[in-house]
């Protein structure tokens, strides 16, 4: 993994303006990437959503690094650009809401796919199990512990 050199700390108002502009640019790109991922997962285009995963990770790293840099210079920014901190805070709040939506969509997709796989596995186990009756005269349900493992190919 190739790490880029750590940027210099913010020392003055000009550095702060550039850092905030850079953070806003990174956030714009990250928001766009997360929105696209969310939209694609919602409509079931998981492969398309995964194509942007590396970009999202790179942008998230850049966002975290630049956010730390800006947070470390909070005093300089507050004294020279007082309105910038409030705008950044509001922007971060909106970004958090977007991330919460994204995480909810991803969790739903995960739960749905897990349910489908469990259903397929259960159906296969039911079809493979012999049809017998128990002492009460009811059909025996195959145990999930005795079923055969299910293998999937990820290269569909």
Taking 50 as the threshold, does the pLDDT of residue 47 lie above it? yes
* pLDDT for the residue 101: 95
Contacts of 150 (CB under 8 A, 6+ apart): 117, 120, 121, 124
CA distance 109 to 43: 10
The predicted-structure confidence for 107-131, as pLDDT tens digits, reads as follows 999 899 888 888 887 777 777 766 7
| Domain positions in the chain | 13-118
pTM over 0.85: no
Conformation bin of residue 5: beta by default, left when phi > 0, alpha when psi is -120 to 50: beta
Of the candidates 34, 30, 39, 77, the one whose C-alpha atom is nearest the C-alpha of residue 58 is 30
Determine how many CB atoms are found less than 10 A away from the CB of residue 96: 10
116, HSE (Cβ side, Cα atoms, 13 Å): 7
- Encoding tokens for residue 7? 């940027």
Residue found by looking up tokens 């990770």 in the block: 57
Residue found by looking up tokens 């939506």 in the block: 101
CA distance 72 to 4: 19
């Amino acid at each position: 993994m190739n790490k880029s050199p750590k940027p210099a700390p913010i020392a003055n108002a000009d550095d702060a303006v550039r850092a905030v502009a850079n953070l806003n640019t990174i956030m714009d790109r990250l928001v766009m990437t997360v929105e696209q991922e969310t939209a694609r997962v919602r409509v079931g285009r998981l492969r398309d959503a995964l194509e942007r995963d590396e970009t999202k990770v790179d942008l998230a790293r850049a966002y975290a690094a630049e956010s730390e840099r800006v947070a470390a210079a909070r005093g300089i920014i507050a004294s020279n650009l007082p309105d910038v901190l409030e705008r950044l805070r509001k922007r971060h709040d909106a970004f958090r809401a977007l991330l919460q939506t994204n995480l909810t969509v991803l969790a739903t997709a995960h739960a749905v796919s897990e349910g489908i796989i469990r259903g397929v596995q259960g159906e296969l186990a039911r079809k493979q199990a012999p049809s017998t009756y128990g002492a009460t005269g009811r059909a025996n349900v195959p145990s999930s512990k005795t079923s055969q493992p299910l293998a999937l190919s990820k290269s569909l």
